Amino acid sequence: MLLSLYFFLADGPTMVNAAVRLSPLDQRYQKQLIEEFDGVSRAVVLATLLAAVGQGVIAGIAYLIVGMPSAVLLTVMTMLLALVPFVGATSVWGSCCLWLYYVEERAGAAIFLLIWGLCAVSLIDNVIRPYVLHGQSNLHPLLALLSVLGGIQVLGPIGIFVGPMVVAFLQALLNILRTELESMEQAPNTTVP
């Protein structure tokens, strides 16, 4: 991944120019697709970062409530690990639940943290991500949520990034098709008898 990221950053404009030269689409449609890709990819990265911060803050509140030692460190760890799909934030607050239950023998605090983690921390991602994707791109919030969930279902963790991009491209291609069909309908009918 790091090697690919290096080459995408180093040779990205050259790769885009090569793809544009090979594309059979009209220049304006190529520009529209590139702008859509740029907007959606930025929105996906921003949504991922904000969801991780949101999960960390929500978990940090619970760490303070249950009296976890080093609550700030646990909050930062939750934010960082929340960037890892599926196991990220859960690995931190889940470990804290086990610590509270088995080491400190505080079953009430462990159960509270478990319920808080399942209901608030894990679900805040499903609120923040579609909201940010809707605000930063032209995706409807429900479509953004379904694209993330569908991307995860089909592609696994990478689907968090690829799902919204595929849906945005499909939406852009359908808009291009609609524009072409409208221009064909408005063109004068020049049939020869």
pLDDT digits (tens, 9 = 90+) for 121-177: 988 988 888 888 777 776 777 887 888 888 888 888 788 788 888 888 888 888 888
pLDDT of residue 44: 83
DSSP assignment letter at 117: I
Helix H, strand E, coil C: the string for 34-94 is: HHHHHHHHHHHHHHHHHHHHHHHHHHHHHHHHHCCCCHHHHHHHHHHHCCCCCCHHHHHHH
What residues contact 41, with CB distance under 8 A and at least 6 apart? 161, 165
pLDDT digits (tens, 9 = 90+) for 28-82: 888 888 888 888 888 888 888 999 999 999 999 999 999 999 999 999 999 999 9
Question: Max Cα separation, the chain?
Answer: 91
Distance separating alpha carbons of residues 3 and 9, to the nearest angstrom: 10
Distance separating alpha carbons of residues 154 and 139, to the nearest angstrom: 19
